[in-house]
A and B are shown apart, each in its own frame.
Chain A
Amino acid sequence: MKRIVIADDSATARMVIRRCLEIIGLGDAGMVEVPNGREALARLKEAPTDLLVTDLNMPIMDGETLLKWVKGSPKLTDVPVVVITSAGNPAKEALLSDLGAFAVLDKPISPATLLKKLEPLMQ
């Protein structure tokens, strides 16, 4: 993977995600960190992106809305989206999957859980 966009309003959460990505072998990817969905969309349009990792609850544009925008855009629809949230449950996970999320993970994430979900994309 060459470019990964990480969207979370918490700098701490973004750092945890970044470190997990580095630990599972994606440290060479260019990582772009943004605090909300609207900025994520802007950065996704700047350059081809291999993965979007997003929080669900964010100001300005939340993760669910971001996911809808990405999957509704012909230019971005192929970008795999991983949603990481502290407010997940099976019903929400099913909804996000229906909307096109590649994976939904509960916080706190660990390198092991992230690797398990991302392995198909890394091969």
Chain B
Amino acid sequence: MSQNFDELVRHSIAVTLENMAFMEVLPQSEETETDAEDNMSARLLILDPLQAEMVLTLPVRLLTNIIDVVHAFPEDDVVEQIRSDMLGELLNTVAGRLLNDFLPGNQAYRLGLPEVTLEQPTVCEGPSRTWEYDVEGEPLALTIVGTGFFPEDGEPA
């Protein structure tokens, strides 16, 4: 696996969380394990110029912390309303950042709309990889699926 692509993925997540929520993204440690039932996920199709799907998964607790920072501690009912919006915007921003860094300079791209779920979403079939990080003691995972990024041998294009 290309270390450069690993770094692009890490950088896209780090820049997004640092700029939006002033949170540091660290390598995952054993202490950051959590129950899958506490998680929320968002998935996003990359439509052009390559075809792939990205899934961002994180605990509701971490999502709530991010919302508290961005929206300055809103009321609990507001937090529930904006969880999906926040998670979708996070994934949308990570995807844009990654594609900006991954694609040649002038290449345009097109993204689908993020879909948010409380369960682990069903994603497209194909080669995939998952990157896991620690954000404020909570786990955050990004999975990329599809031959657009991993054409034949599982290595990034």
Taken together as a complex, chains A and B put the C-alpha atoms of A11 and B71 apart, in Å, by: 9
| Chain B residues positioned under 8 Å from A13 (CB to CB) | 89
Total interface residues on B, CB under 8 Å, equals 29
1/0 per residue, CB under 8 A from A, across B82-126: the answer is: 100110111011011101100101111111000000000000000
| Chain A residues positioned under 8 Å from B19 (CB to CB) | 108-110
> Please, which residue of chain A has its CB at the minimum distance from the CB of B107?
A89
Q: Which residue of the partner chain, among A87, A107, A110, contacts B110 with CB atoms under 8 Å?
A: A87
Total interface residues on A, CB under 8 Å, equals 21
Query: B97 touching A86 by the CB < 8 A rule?
Result: yes
Query: B106 touching A89 by the CB < 8 A rule?
Result: yes
With A11-B82, A106-B100, A108-B20 as given contacts, are A89 and B109 in contact (CB-CB < 8 Å)? yes
| Chain B residues positioned under 8 Å from A11 (CB to CB) | 82, 85
1/0 per residue, CB under 8 A from B, across A1-31: the answer is: 0000000001111011001000000000000
Residues of B within 8 A of A (CB): 15-16, 19-20, 67, 70-72, 82, 85-86, 88-90, 92-93, 95-97, 99-100, 103, 105-111
Residues of A within 8 A of B (CB): 10-13, 15-16, 19, 57, 85-92, 106-110
